[in-house]
Structure 1
Amino acid sequence: MPSRTAGSTPKDDPAPQQPDMPEVNTVTAEDIAASLRAGFSDFLARPVMSGFFGLFYALFGLLIVWCLVWLGKIWMIIPAAVGFPLVAPFAAAGLYEMSRRLQTGESFGWSDILTVMADQRKREMGWMAFVTLFIFWVWMYQVRLWLAIILQNSSFSGFDGFLHIVFFTPQGWTFLAVGTCVGAFLSAVLFTVTVVAMPMLLDRETNFVSAMLTSIRVVRESPVVMLGWAAILSVTLLLSLVPAFLGLIVTLPVLGHATWHLYRRAVPPAEG
């Protein structure tokens, strides 16, 4: 009988090393309050640079509205404005880096922050951007779907006519109810998978799946408090849209900085 020599059987390829999942802390209402105070402090420390990111986001929102008017799709203005804050976590990447450097006492200028943001295309942040924009696309598509199903027999030639149908007819109330429920579900999904994922990807070497799983664990660990944080984000951003998106110049930076500090409280720093 032929003998088997040691090492005659090839070894299996070693499994790829996966990054360790970080521990998560329980988030309290005091953590939310402290994060908001720290976020406002970061905004005051660099108001011009922080406000730049808010201004850029606001101008992008106005560009979307202008494009819808130009294309004659005025009935999409409200859904686009309501869904626009969904992409805020990705837009705040530069604010996270500013807060990180302010927290560690590092000096920085415009080139430092913009370089870090540009470098994210080589990391996992691009995948998170895809997730964010995909959910925003689903949001816009489902609005068109419910418009076709619920308001199929309605006609409106202008924005005023659309508002009248939506707010003063039974079909419009049904459209609002269904759209609100679906939108709330999509917002909850996106919030759950991104609330700490974006700053985590900026902060440490990890993949976007691990970052999303960590974000889900944070929400699961403190569901009531995190629901309150989601409500603060949603209401503040939506109210900021009222004065022609200009409120975002202040609110987006403050909330972006605050999100970084909340991440720091929810996810302990990586060792080493």
Structure 2
Amino acid sequence: MSHPSASPAPTSHAQLRSIDLHSPWRWLALGWSDLRRNPVPGLLHGFLLTGFGALLLWAARDQFWLLAGAFSGFLIVAPVLATGLYHVSKACQGGRSAGVGEVVMLWRSGDRRLVTFGLLLALAGTGWVLTSAGLITLWSPVAIQKPADFLRQVVLVREVGLFEVWLLLGALLAAPVFASTVVALPMLVDTSVPVSMAVLASWRAVAEHPGPMALWAVLIAVLVGLGMLTALLGLIVLIPIIAHASWHAYCDLTGRIGVAT
């Protein structure tokens, strides 16, 4: 999604806003504000991504490992597909409104960096599904083939063990994905830096602000979980709020100053 106005990576630490445990809440408030100011692109993204996720989950509803793969793939690839909303927030920050047509033009311009990054994230999702399958296959006393099997034999068992280890493993694998994307995705939209530099900046931001970034990761997970509990319908609004908020997180973490584009 590179375009002529792309700029070098913002690296001036003199411009950094103070990041603390209040910052993630402020990012969400700013994300909500961006959605209210320019709702059409955000709600369209939310509707299309939620519909796509619902289709995937419906198609894999009777096969647990297909369902797990579809679920993981949706959670990992959705942030890449929502990157057009970073441009909308960038425009709002610069005092103007970016419509759907402008977002479509950016996507049509193409950006190999985002394609490459999306493929790497899809590979990470596949790795999680295979690792999860190996753990449950080796540990579970019965074969897990359907979602109901996983619920009965893994989630609802009285003994502490497999489910807790499965959750811990998922968290350990999700952490580096989050650290690699939280700044990198908006930076790839905003600047012309290579993927490696964007990922390095993302890891540096997480390392410098571990507490606020851990809270930000938890908030994203909770909001997505709440959206899932509403039969995915809540994601229509929550996806754009999270995407817009992620832009403001990127600005604070890198010291980017909003200017008209």
Q: TM-score range by the shorter chain?
A: 0.7 to 0.9
Q: How does 1:142-181 map to 2 (within 5 A)?
A: 142-151=131-140, 153-155=141-143, 159-169=147-157, 174-181=161-168
Shift of 1:78: 5.4
Aligned with 1:103 (options 83, 93, 100):
93
Shift of 1:223: 0.6
Return the alpha-carbon distance in structure 1 between the equivalents of residues 227 and 210 of structure 2.
Answer: 26
- Does residue 171 of structure 2 align to residue 187 of structure 1? no
Return the alpha-carbon distance in structure 1 between the equivalents of residues 41 and 10 of structure 2.
Answer: 33
Return the alpha-carbon distance in structure 2 between the equivalents of residues 168 and 213 of structure 1.
Answer: 40
Give TM-score, length-normalised by structure 1.
0.82
Sort the Cα spacing of 1:139 and 1:193 in 2 relative to 1 into closer, same or farther, 3 A. Answer: same
How many residues are aligned here? 249
- Does residue 118 of structure 2 align to residue 126 of structure 1? no
1:166-215 deviation digits (Å, cap 9, x = unpaired):
233368x5331222121101110011011010000111110000000000
Larger radius of gyration: 1
SS in 2 for 1:124: helix
SS in 2 for 1:241: helix
Q: Which runs of 4+ in 1 moved over 6 A?
A: none
- Does residue 125 of structure 2 align to residue 136 of structure 1? yes
Return the alpha-carbon distance in structure 1 between the equivalents of residues 222 and 97 of structure 2.
Answer: 33
Aligned with 1:220 (options 196, 202, 207):
207
SS in 1 for 2:105: helix
Q: How does 1:256-267 map to 2 (within 5 A)?
A: 256-267=243-254
Q: CA RMSD in A?
A: 2.5
Shift of 1:32: 2.2
Return the alpha-carbon distance in structure 2 between the equivalents of residues 157 and 135 of structure 1.
Answer: 22
Quote the residue 1:81 is aligned against: 71
Quote the residue 1:253 is aligned against: 240
Return the alpha-carbon distance in structure 2 between the equivalents of residues 267 and 187 of structure 1.
Answer: 22
- Does residue 119 of structure 2 align to residue 113 of structure 1? no
Shift of 1:226: 0.7
Return the alpha-carbon distance in structure 2 between the equivalents of residues 122 and 77 of structure 1.
Answer: 30
Q: Which moved more, 1:205-214 or 1:162-171?
A: 162-171
What stretches of structure 1 of length at least 5 have no aligned partner? 1-18
Return the alpha-carbon distance in structure 2 between the equivalents of residues 100 and 147 of structure 1.
Answer: 43
CA contact (8 A) 2:63 2:145 kept: no
1:203-246 deviation digits (Å, cap 9, x = unpaired):
11100000000001100111111111111011111121112211
Alignment-mate amino acid for residue 127 of structure 1:
T
CA contact (8 A) 1:85 1:238 kept: no
Identity %: 29
Alignment-mate amino acid for residue 48 of structure 1:
V
What stretches of structure 2 of length at least 5 have no aligned partner? 1-7
CA contact (8 A) 2:54 2:232 kept: yes
Sort the Cα spacing of 1:155 and 1:130 in 2 relative to 1 into closer, same or farther, 3 A. Answer: closer
